[in-house]
């Protein structure tokens, strides 16, 4: 038996466009002699469709499209497509997350997802009823265990100590083993996390090894709003060795021979790229798809002479092309000459268009206008924030006038502790670095410079500063970023308490101050743009904390 795995970049809600891609690849697979063609989870509608699933007409359109695809299959080829299915029982949720098996012009069998994740960014039980009845696919004298994403993740390790090694009381593949399957199909929509690539591979190879079965996994690729999918679909042999792996961050396709997989015959499998390269690829994918799928082409951002805006510009240029990125340099009386020079050099290195608009005059007018209200009070953070908001106003004006999307350049370290100005440097249509700690921003800069110097060395080496008052540097308000980032990762990703972080060796007063800063700035993060997710715990839909509370 020959099995085609088709890894595609779907657009959420574009049922017609997704159907067209699926049909084209079925035709391709048939011409390549495939017996079974497999697409990813919810491929007909894209993942995640969210509350579109609450519209009956949307679900019906998905099912109609799958029936149309089935009608086009007039040979003995089998096709597995992911989509929502109605729950026709009198009780329970209205839908199932399903895998439709198509053959000979019709939907021949439907398999439903059993394990519905409700952690981090997932909220599948909001929409779907879990499957409780297990069956097997018999196709061309082979018994096939058809599973959907989380169904094989019942043994996943969790980063938080407040979790179990086994999240679920039901284990789909174990229950399907009574049918004596010859191999396992898993259709997935598994989001990218830079720290979990090896873990993700081991989930599938461990299942192969445990049950001595080939496992064929099809993941989707591309980005939908903040979620990025790396692809990396794979085939694992019965001894737990990856035989074939599809590309990361690209559409890809393979037709594999089942008998060769059973023998453990492998193609040349490239190792996983370094973590920083994965982050770079993920962010570029996220930017590119956000623009393409939103119908925009061009981006605007402010270039400050700092590391964050420099890295954001380099990534945006790679994703969109130099002709599709415009930048503003907006110096004030507190901006250093080298910040302007560094920004100009960076823009010229990348070949992007830039303009210099001084905010000194506008800032002075603001101060004069507010003088009767401020009544000679000493200047403080209020005046600092005015500068940031002036810059945001100019950037949004350019964005509106030119029809661009404003890219936000704030990093995760600063966003976590509220070191940013609401409606100022926290504004934008998309946050590129909002899930990237500052130490990783520096690592990205070095990676971007690995071939030749693109980001000027001075931007990387100088002390970071917001330059909103004379002599200001980040170290005046924040601990060194390597210490800050370690504490933040323990608190946010691993969900350690203060006592545990202090036990590891961090100073008590510093830990308490950082945790308080994270907690009291939830209201700021609630108002930020979508943040491209590259970690296991990004700010946004995956981290739901109360704004008003005393914990």
Give catalytic residue positions. 41, 113, 149
Residues 225, 530 contacting (CB under 8 angstroms): yes
Give backbone dihedrals phi and psi of 30, rounded to 5 degrees, phi first. -60, -45
Does the bond joining 204 to the residue before it have cis omega, within 30 degrees of 0? no
Residues 230, 221 contacting (CB under 8 angstroms): yes
Residues 157, 124 contacting (CB under 8 angstroms): no
C-alpha distances out from residue 505 to 293, 439, 480, 499, 513, Å: 46, 19, 15, 10, 15
Distance of CA 434 to the CA centre of its chain: 11
Collapsed DSSP state (helix, strand, coil) of residue 257: strand
Residues 272, 198 contacting (CB under 8 angstroms): yes
What gap in Å lies between CA 226 and CA 14, rounded to an integer?
18
**Alpha-carbon torsion, ordered 150, 151, 156, 160, to 10 deg:** 50
Strand order in the sheet with 215-218: 137-139, 142-148, 183-187, 215-218, 234-236, 242-245
Which residues, including other chains, have CB under 8 Å from residue 461's CB and lie 6 or more apart?
Answer: none
Collapsed DSSP state (helix, strand, coil) of residue 234: strand
Give the total residue count for the chain.
551
Residue of 148, 146, 144 lying closest to 116 (CA atoms): 148
The contacts found for 513-518 with CB under 8 angstroms, 24 or more apart, are 514/417, 514/479, 514/484, 514/487, 514/488, 515/491, 517/416, 517/417, 517/418, 518/416, 518/417, 518/418, 518/488, 518/491, 518/492
Give backbone dihedrals phi and psi of 229, rounded to 5 degrees, phi first. -120, 125
Residue of 407, 251, 391, 259 lying closest to 326 (CA atoms): 407
Neighbours of 532 (CB within 10 A): 30
Per the rule left: phi > 0, alpha: psi between -120 and 50, beta: everything else, 251 is: beta
Tell me the three-class secondary structure of 16-80, residue by residue: HHHHHHHHHHHHHHHHCCCCEEECCCCCCCCCCCHHHHHCHHHHHHHHHHHHHHHHCCCCCCEEE
């Amino acid at each position: 038996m020959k099995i085609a795995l088709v890894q595609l970049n779907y657009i959420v809600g574009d049922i017609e466009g997704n159907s067209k891609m699926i049909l084209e690849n079925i035709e391709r697979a048939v011409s390549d002699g495939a017996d079974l063609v497999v697409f990813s989870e919810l491929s007909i509608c894209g993942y995640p469709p969210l509350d579109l699933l609450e519209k009956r007409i949307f679900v019906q359109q998905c099912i109609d499209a799958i029936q149309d695809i089935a009608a086009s299959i007039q040979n003995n080829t089998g096709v597995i497509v992911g989509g929502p299915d109605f729950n026709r029982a009198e009780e329970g949720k209205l839908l199932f997350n399903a895998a439709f098996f198509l053959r000979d012009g019709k939907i021949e069998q439907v398999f439903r997802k059993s394990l519905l994740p409700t952690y981090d960014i997932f909220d599948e039980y909001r929409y779907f009823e879990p499957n409780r009845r297990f069956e097997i696919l018999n196709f061309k004298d082979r018994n096939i265990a058809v599973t959907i994403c989380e169904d094989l993740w019942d043994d996943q390790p969790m980063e938080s100590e407040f979790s179990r090694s086994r999240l679920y009381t039901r284990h789909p593949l174990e229950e399907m083993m009574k049918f004596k399957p010859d191999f396992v199909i898993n259709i997935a929509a598994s989001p990218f996390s830079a720290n979990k690539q090896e873990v993700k591979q081991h989930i599938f190879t461990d299942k192969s090894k445990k049950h001595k079965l080939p496992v064929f996994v099809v993941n989707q690729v591309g980005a939908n709003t903040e979620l990025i999918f790396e692809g990396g679909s794979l085939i694992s042999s019965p001894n737990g060795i990856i035989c074939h792996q599809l590309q990361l961050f690209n559409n890809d396709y393979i037709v594999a021979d089942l008998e060769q997989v059973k023998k453990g015959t492998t193609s040349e499998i490239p190792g996983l790229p370094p973590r920083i390269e994965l982050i770079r690829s993920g962010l570029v994918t996220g930017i590119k798809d956000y623009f393409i799928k939103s119908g925009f082409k061009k981006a605007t951002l402010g270039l400050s002479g700092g590391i964050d805006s420099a890295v954001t510009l380099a990534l945006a240029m790679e994703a969109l092309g130099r002709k599709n990125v415009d930048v503003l340099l907006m110096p004030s009386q507190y901006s250093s000459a080298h910040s302007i020079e560094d920004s100009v050099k960076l823009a010229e290195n990348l070949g992007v268009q830039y303009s210099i608009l001084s905010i000194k005059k506008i800032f002075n007018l603001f101060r004069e206008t507010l003088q009767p209200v401020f009544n000679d009070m000493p200047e403080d953070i209020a005046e600092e924030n005015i500068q940031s908001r002036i810059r945001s106003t100019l950037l949004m004006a350019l964005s509106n006038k030119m029809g661009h999307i404003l890219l936000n350049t704030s990093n995760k370290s600063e966003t976590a502790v509220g070191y940013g100005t609401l409606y100022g440097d926290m504004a934008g249509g998309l946050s590129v670095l909002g899930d990237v700690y500052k130490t990783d921003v520096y690592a990205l800069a070095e990676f971007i410079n690995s071939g030749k110097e693109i980001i000027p060395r001075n931007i990387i080496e100088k002390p970071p500063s917001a330059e909103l008052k004379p002599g200001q540097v980040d170290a005046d308000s924040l601990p060194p970023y390597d210490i800050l980032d370690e504490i933040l990762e323990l608190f946010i990703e691993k969900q350690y308490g203060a006592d545990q972080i202090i036990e590891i060796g961090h100073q008590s007063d510093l830990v308490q101050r950082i945790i308080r800063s994270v907690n009291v700035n939830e209201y700021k993060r609630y108002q930020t743009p979508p943040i491209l997710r590259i970690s296991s715990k990004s700010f946004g839909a995956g981290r739901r904390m109360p704004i008003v509370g005393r914990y």
